[in-house]
Structures are given as C-alpha cells and as structure tokens.
Structure 1
C-alpha cells in the first residue's frame, strides 16, 4: 500500500527510537491501516507547514500545477491527457503535498505515487490506451507513466478546479476569487481525516488534528489561496487539459 501513502521528497524522514507514535493491532483491516497511517502523516506534514491536498499534481520545466475537485470530477483524466500529449510528468496521483518554504512560496514536495483510474472511464475517453490484462475496475497506471527523478521540488504555479462534463468540449478558464479558492482548498486539505474507519468503535480520524493544527491548516489554506492563482475549468478531459496547459504557458511568461 506504499503507493497510496503520501511521501515527502527532498530528504529522509527522521526516526524516533523512543515511544511509538502509532501502534497497529493484528485485528485492523488493510484499508484501516492505510487510512490510519495517512491520517497520522497528515498531522506530521501539517506540523512542518505542509498541506496534504486531495488532488493530482503535475510538473513541467520546474513548475507544478495542481488539479483539485471532488471524486469523479476528472482530475486523473485531465492529468492523463496532459501527460500523454503535452509533456507533463505526474508528481502525485491522489494526495499532493504542498509546503510553504522559507521565501514565502509554496512548493510541491511529493504525494501519493499511485495513479488510479477506472477502466470504464479510460475506455470512454482514452480508447487507444491499452490497459493490458488487469483485474478489477480500478487500475493503477503509475508504472506506465513517465516520471521524474523523484527528488525534484517544483514551485506550485497554479491551481485548477476541474469538472468533467461529456457534453462540453472545454469552457474558457474562469479565475476564482480568493474566498472561493480557500473554501475549495480547505475541503481538499482535510480529505485524509474525513475517512470513516471499518472499526465501528474507532474515534473519528479528525480528532488526530487537534485545535492548534486545525488553526494552522486554515492559515496555510488562506495563505495558499492568496498567493497562488486558481481557476475553474469545465469540459471533457482533453479540452480541460488544453486549457490548463495554456494557463501554465501564460503563467510561465
């Protein structure tokens, strides 16, 4: 399950030889192991001014763009179109780590390695993409996608809220106001704590954050929304990918 754990780049994680921060029993389910570890990593990353954002991150030429939206919004499909035909490389396939650096900018420093798509949506939007002999509806494309060296930190240049719509070829990007962006980013920054565990007696994962870190997350989200531009794009995946790529070119200039 390591591919679904958000890992940081640019250095190893320090080890604590004293009291364990997390103890997992033999009775816990595999899915609860992943959910619990991810929630603990959310807390650890947040302690280092790093947001764990639900989104697909891609990078090209030292700049990164983050695609956000709810489940089924088309983040992975839009990113896949950018990867296949526009020279972008995947950085995070589901959870992206965005860190505030000492210069006041935000960097993409890692995320989840898995890039999971549904066979049915691939068959609809990318019929030429051969998935091979795989079982199940959900397929991880990470091993077949181009990647970078794994230790590159890219500056976050833009955030795009995507909304897939099969009846629209691609609407012009709409700039989002700071408050709209902050609301969307706040929702995206808490998704690792929003999971419900299989264990019916377990506490909500949101309790792991605590009031101090909850306030820090809100401050970081507001800072991110005020310093990195955000747009909303609606349409089919390739059209949205074209719009995002055009935004990136304009921002680069």
Structure 2
C-alpha cells in the first residue's frame, strides 16, 4: 500500500472498522485519509463505533440498512454508490466474498453482492440523477479483509495500541461476545485462554478478555507465527494481480 492514500472501508457490521483498523490507522499516520461506511449498526451502538473510529483517525458514517432486508434494489445500490462517488477512494477495503458465504451472520451474503455491484456501478453512468453533482468514480483497488486465503499482510505493530484501544470502545459488542464465550467455553478451556476468566465480574469483561486473546493470536499467526517479517500483521486479499514496474522484496 502506497503512503498517503484515500481509503474507504465499506463494512457490514461495526466491529469490522476495528478489525481492519491497523491498515486504516497506518494510512492516516502516513498522511492519508481513511473513511468507513457501515451498512448495519444499531443506533445504540453507533456512538461506540464512532468513538472507536475516532481513536483510529477514521471518518465513519452509517447507512442504516435494516437487518434481514439487505437486497439488490436500486435504492440500496444508490446508498453505497453515493458514498463511493463522494469519497473518491484510491482503495476500498470490504468483506471477503468467500468468507461471507461461510459466515452465518445475517445479511452477509446479499451484502457482498450488493457491495461489489455498487463498486462496479459507481464507475459507470448509473444513477447520475440520484447522485447530483457526483461523477462516476473508477473502480479502486480492492482489498478483502479477514480472508480465508490472504495474499497480503500489513505490519500493524506500531498501531497495535490504537487498534486495541479502539476495540475497548465497542462495549455492546464485548458484552454480546462475553455471553457467547461464557456459554460455549467450558471453564477449563476459558482459563487456559484467559487465566482468571471465571473471576471476571460481567459479560463485558469476559468478552473483552477473550477478544484480547483472539486479537493477538490472529495477528501473530499472520505475522511471526507463519515465518512472516512482522510481529503483528493484518491479513488481506487483493482483488486481481499486483501491477509492479519491477519486482520488490
């Protein structure tokens, strides 16, 4: 990723801003601009996601789609196209198509098709009347987040603290995760992952404790653990080939 780009993250759920927060935060530190637009985020959770984005230096907005109703209507496409034409990104980060089909979170599958169709149509003479004053924007370079088969890793060691601080802001997500982990993990396994888990006071603390373990495990795996060059790395899959003037190391 070149320095100082204009990056737009198109997300389905709010926590995804933090999941790819390392790349977004590094771009800001390099003099670039990072934006995030979230399709589905409960109104009660939006202040938390906004605080997380602010910690990362990301300008975030919400499209307020309704759960279980994501479709390929023109109205839905125009919502995303308007954002793309306003931001005019060099790079778009969004969910991985392959991952979206295996993840049973609701709306991920129609959202993936909607996202890709909107990116494509934003570059054409589609819905110009519905986006007055906004010209078509060429399809940016696309990176898929948390892919099953990454071909790119980003060193996030220098922004790790920012990313963890941003995750701290997602209180309702941590509480939801805490309920899930408390139910699915037996007490011995939970203590192996996070010593003292059983003594934590509430679901929020339990969720955050396990997320800290997962966060580090995932990023070390994509970094140091797989003979990588970085201690902590975010993984992505770039759409299409890398086009280089010459080979790089």
- The normalised TM-score by structure 2 is 0.28
The structure carrying a bigger strand percent of its residues is 1
The structure carrying a bigger helix percent of its residues is 2
- The normalised TM-score by structure 1 is 0.28
